Structure 1
């Protein structure tokens, strides 16, 4: 298939991402998929694609591309400058690229990941039910790897789409502070009252150890969570949004590329309605956890999914 975009500058880490893999966890294959599926869905909506169509996920530093044919693109996620042959464009509105034009996305001014969707979707083969790139195993995307300068990306047939803009109510505010609602996990009973107050009392930030696998949380005051020694625990299921606590007392928030099982205590689980925010946490950002009940988590999920589906489409799912 003829290329639609050629990568000129791939930036720090740019991959092809789509919806998650939902039927391979029993094989030890994580969900992967877009680290921020809401931003992926909003970008795809701008160009008339299904919400989980394959698009380009750029991390922190942006990147640049050359259009190999005329096509409509849309950009959502972490805010950045967008220029086409020196002309400025904004996020959250579809626009046309003419053949030969150069599209440049600058560094994210807040957040971590920006999504570039092309009309028809980036056309790469699905592996185990998804076109998403899973870097640790080299699966999906383009040859299972990050994009490189010179890569040529095909896209689906361009049928022409109505130019639309994301409603203001669905454009998230951006800063360097994140609030994540979480329920206690199976290991939550290991937390003392003081430990629970520390975990849900603020003062956390994302450490330098942060990627699509997970983000290690640190306290600005240098403190750690103290859990009673439980020895070696048997491996148990973990999911994106699981908060594990190793012996060192610095919790790890698991992301879409995390493994399917783990042996550290699972002290909390970020609710599904907030899980997509993981993809926008960058090193140094403040992270506050709020203790939530399962009933309240279900109610919030339904409310948020209904709001987003009204614009993105009834098939949209908050994973």
Structure 2
């Protein structure tokens, strides 16, 4: 879909809660009517400026779902997205809250990865960025709460993909992605950080609860400055430099190739066992009646690859259920 500069600023939209998430497919969603969806495409960036952060815009990307019951200036937004961009639920109930929407441009590689990941099954999580502790910096690692691993469908030590939208020109946003090895942020670690956080900008650690006024908040992800910079979270404004990338939301999903590679050894063993079993079974004799000898072995080999591969796909998909 070709996006023009006319799509750069679609105006502001009144925020309503989502009601039907049947088409979410493991992702976060916003719902708009047909007129707005034609300008946005299938993916959009939601932007909001919290009242307590005058120079900072919090953004997150999500899937766009059609809802013809909405007016041109209305959008339904998932609860997790609203929390992520700093919209307190009490504020939304008491007055009209408005956000901006922008098109998100995915490269053909992003689209292929998106389809490939859906084959194996995945689920996104929105996490709040915090600074890493000193022992974790400059090691290409991050820390997330223990319950996040079960939701994502992976284990401590696995690779995860962190995503954030970055403005490209004025017409749309593109996706920034980095891969990090994820380890557990213990309950004690999180509690210790909460004690050291402050509700002001000129400090080392910033309190999302104190500054954004969102409670309960989305889970945390601890990452170093290199990762925050690579995701484009540190802005050039005075306020942005003080925050140093903290408080921004990022979307996280498991890295499928990492999980597939972990299954590679067992996958190879299953291929060998399936091939040997098939050549000694009645299936081999049946195929031999209709195919030449060489074609029989090709057919058996293809069967030996398909069945173990199907097993691996089912196993990885089940981890994200």
What is the TM-score with the length of structure 2 in the denominator? 0.26
Higher-Rg structure is: 2
Question: Quick check: which one's helix share is greater?
Answer: 2
